[in-house]
Structure 1
């Protein structure tokens, strides 16, 4: 991994009844780490973390940044501190054991993700190809079995990976992203505003086996600003969408469950909006250690 680079592996899932949600992100060269930025981005592995977020009851957040001595990896597994991800050829097993912040509690247990298919194609998000996105398992099933808190559920899931050679904020101003579970496969909308003012707007439908198929971009659909007054929008067939549930609300980032119409179907997209201009503000970076502590041992 080059100096200043990053990689992350992302899983999100929503229970079949819509009551629970979960996100797990394993970071090498954590893109949202103030410590990585303050270090001059010299050593990506020295700024690694596993972010675990539970939505619903109970709602919990954990993201402890760890040094390179706490990272172990090979072709099929990655361990960062006490948590790990392992691929066995047919599914991903995630074992988490993390302490939440700012109020300490524990998230511990096992998450299993079973893709229906693997996508063969990787997409460049910038003109120079310095940022790459691989939606490797757009359609998947998830089983959550946590001991702390005691929580069991199953649902639909999505898994991707991103990697890059420079900081996100150097190349992008903002983006919105959503994934919608269809009756057959998954639709993903990814609208990126680059730092130079150009755009990368991806509208894709994935068959259950992972085969990607471009679709005509749905109509832009406005969404209300968040509690932090973060602007956000999405797309839908009829130009209308609504927020069903707020999952995450930060000064520079939001994650929500929406209602919309995509590919002719009534769907509930998982949606995110990211403003990297806000993220780059010095005051925002000073706030982040309260949610993202760093383990110095």
Structure 2
């Protein structure tokens, strides 16, 4: 995997091979810790059963990823999901302006250069078949020392992970109208800390790795970002960084990592719930404690992390989003009925489960 930190380099060409994919990932926690938001724009949606089916039928002559755009949006209140959507669009609903702006239906992502560095503006608007509605206007702003790069984005590795905003200040508004929630409408002035990355690959994820853990935590003194990938060839690739919270510059690199306390999900997905990370000066224990998205091939956790820097007498804790995926399972058709309940095709009649608030919540 090729790792970058270039906030303005978002070129569509790096993932236009059949089987390729890319996503723009954003998460944010409110200053109070009450609300968490996760927003992911996809091109070549790797969870799309339509995309996978077309690739299996057509092989290397298969469809371009731009034919399968999508977006997932999750809102959590006190560790519980209160809004979830995963919407798949047609190619005609999607447009991309090189390095600056992406549109999917009524959703917009735009990057701007500011005096401080980089700012991503997200404008979201959606109404679900069950009646839930969401509108959001959010700015992710971060200090970046890199200059804008408009040059070609050559893809030497099969996967690129661009840490565009390891730590960002997030401001904006969020409006939710939730059916059957006892509150007809809620308007939130959102202020907190966020994270943004951009991932791209030129082949299905299952061709490169068997599973992948990754996460990020915003302590007062440092930001932690880590990943662990168990490769298809049996090797393990892992890395973690401690970054300065003001400049996003790397302070320390990982020395070693351990995964412990394996647990099985109701879908037979096995993942480690504890990760121990060792640096030269610091030690961090991650506890993936609360499962907020539990599927047959993917899990998202609201996790706790504990930081210790003995030489500086530092002892801190933080809450953050962590994730786990086993991509081979995405291609197992036995799980596709569950996937089709979750993913809404915007130009087709919605699944009958998606029309019921109570039943749709069961798929979360």
- Residue 278, structure 1, aligned to residue 349, structure 2: no
Listed as ranges, the matches of 1:236-247 within 5 Å are 236=276, 241-247=286-292
C-alpha displacement at 1:169, in angstroms?
A: 1.5
Q: CA RMSD in A?
A: 2.4
- For the residue of structure 2 that corresponds to 1:26, the secondary structure is strand
CA contact (8 A) 1:187 1:262 kept: no
* Structure with more of its chain in helix, by fraction: 2
Partner Cα separation in structure 1 for residue 169 and residue 46 of structure 2: 27
Shift of 1:271: 1.0
Report the Cα offset of residue 131 of structure 1.
0.7
TM-score (norm 1): 0.88
Q: Secondary structure at the match of 2:292?
A: strand
Distance 1:42 1:177, change over 3 A: same
* Aligned-partner Cα distance in 1 for 2:290–2:33: 10
Q: Answer with 68-77 or 201-210: which moved more.
A: 201-210
Counterpart pick for 1:189 among 219, 226, 242: 226
- For 2:216, the equivalent position in structure 1 comes to 179
Closer, same or farther: CA 58–31 of 1 in aligned 2, 3 Å: closer
In the TM superposition, 1:1-297 aligns within 5 A as: 1-40=16-55, 41-56=62-77, 59-74=82-97, 75-90=99-114, 91-100=119-128, 103-117=130-144, 129-149=157-177, 150-152=186-188, 153-208=190-245, 209-212=247-250, 213-222=252-261, 224-233=263-272, 234-236=274-276, 241-262=286-307, 264=309, 265-296=316-347
Higher Rg: 2
- Decide whether aligned partners of structure 1 residues 39 and 7 sit closer, same or farther in structure 2, where only a CA change above 3 A counts: same
Alignment TM-score, normalising by the size of structure 2: 0.73
Cα distance between partner residues in 2 of 1:147 and 1:257: 22
Please say if residues 284 and 308 of structure 2, whose CA atoms lie closer than 8 Å, have aligned partners that are also in contact: no
User: Which runs of 5 or more structure 2 residues have no equivalent in the other structure?
Assistant: 1-15, 56-61, 148-155, 178-185, 278-282, 310-315, 349-364
Shift of 1:162: 0.4
Structure 1: stretches of 5+ with no match in the other structure: 121-127
